[in-house]
Amino acid sequence: MDVALQKLVDRWVGIPLCAALSVWHGALRLIYGAFPPAPPRRILVILLSEMGSLVLAEPMFRRLRERHPQARIHMMLFRRNRQLLDLLQVVDPECVITIRDDSPRNLLADLWTAVRQVRAWRIDAVVDCELFARISAILSGLSGAGHRVGFHRQTQEGLYRGSFLTSRVPYNPYRHLSHQLVSLADGLDSLSTPRAKDGRVEATYLPPAFTPEPGEVEREVAQLHRDHPDLRGRRLVLLYPSGGLLPIRAWPLEHYVSVARELLAQGCAVGVIGMPEDRPLAEALRRGCGDHPLCVSLAGYTRSVRHLLCLFRRASLLITNDGGPGQFAAMTPLHTIVMFGPETPALYRSWSPNAHAFFTQLPCSPCLTAYNHRSSPCDGDNQCLKRIMPDQVLTRARQMLEQARPELVEHAA
């Protein structure tokens, strides 16, 4: 579904439904009273949105298992994100509900099926991880769970998602998303006001690691070299110039071209990654490099996230806009440069020790927040990204290429 349509439906349908569910749960509370939640036996985690958020949520799953070892964890997410969830191995496959969001019809059909499945599971507690949409709050309210944990606006404006949460964890725009999601897990059994006040905070986390099957990386790299023989024996730098669902997050294409041309002049190979719909963008970058034989389009080339991670094991460096690839790279040893501007690394940086974030904090940056449901007021002139100069990125790229594992080039031969 188109993002603008999703936001329109979320506002004009989501707000009334959240209000109606608030009245319903309020009436149940008056009739039956409030009962202290028992230790949960079945916990449902709702995290529908981007795949990159799943990587940042991995510490939350660890905290849930630590604090509730007797509980079985279930998961609800969009179907397009299922492959990454399977790689993370944080939920048993039979405990996953997927929802299609490619059309309104499929979305409504799968939501109906999902609610029925959740109620059949007799879920005790729901952890709603969403910030920007009301659909997850509605699913939480319809789940039948007696304990519902999620982010709440408290006395702040915006973020209205009803008033039927039983444990309201304040959304804190100054804390990294991973820390905030861990606070949701703590909120399940917290009795403080506000919830999770007494939870411990870890400064850093180790990112989850991708463990390939024996020979898997070698097979995928061999196929890459058969498809693109000019890449053999070269350091490979991958570029992700697409902004994905939010084009305002994209560093200017001409900046990517400048970086790519210089890297090619230094003898590196350049691969432009992306989804199949990013192929025109990848071809434009290649044309900007004069159709150099060492600059290849890999947009739409990878079959899955797993395939992409295998290519990350071959590459020496990734230069990417804020989005999924930067978070996926944290699951490998790949050195990574990530461009931030409309969003901030203070909230969304990866936990990889090999990642560097560029961020030009203008008076209006970051402008994509939970308070505006990621609807930027920018007129499209994203100066926060345009002011990150190619020379700055090239300086960091050269440093990272020197640090990259020397055996990569030997492996590439």
Read off the pLDDT of residues 316-344 as tens digits, 9 standing for 90 and up. 999 999 999 999 999 999 999 999 999 99
Q: Where do the H-state alpha helices sit in 14-166? A: 15-32, 51-67, 82-88, 104-121, 135-142
Q: What's the mean pLDDT in 257-268?
A: 98
What is the CATH code of the structural domain delimited by 216-412?
3.40.50.2000
Q: In whole angstroms, what is the distance from residue 182 CA to residue 129 CA? A: 10
Range 193-196, long-range pairs (CB < 8 A, 24+ positions): 194/154, 194/168, 194/169, 194/170, 195/149, 195/167, 195/168, 195/169, 195/170, 196/169
- Predicted confidence (pLDDT) at residue 411 exceeds the cutoff of 60: no
pLDDT, averaged across the chain: 92
Q: In whole angstroms, what is the distance from residue 236 CA to residue 239 CA? A: 10
Terminal alpha carbon distance of the chain: 43
Cα-atom radius of gyration of the chain, to the nearest Å?
22
Superfamily of domain 3-187: Glycogen Phosphorylase B; (3.40.50.2000)
Q: Which helix (H) or strand (E) holds 262?
A: helix 253-265
pTM of the prediction?
0.92
144 close to 136: Cβ distance less than 8 angstroms: no
Q: Which amino acid, residue 158?
A: G
Q: In whole angstroms, what is the distance from residue 121 CA to residue 109 CA? A: 19
Q: How confident is the model at residue 408 (pLDDT cuts 50, 70, 90)?
A: low
64 close to 214: Cβ distance less than 8 angstroms: no
**Predicted local confidence at residue 409, as pLDDT:** 45
Residue spans in the chain of domains classed CATH 3.40.50.2000: 3-187, 216-412
Q: In whole angstroms, what is the distance from residue 357 CA to residue 335 CA? A: 11
Q: In whole angstroms, what is the distance from residue 312 CA to residue 237 CA? A: 10
Dihedral pair phi/psi, residue 211, rounded to 5°: -110, 105
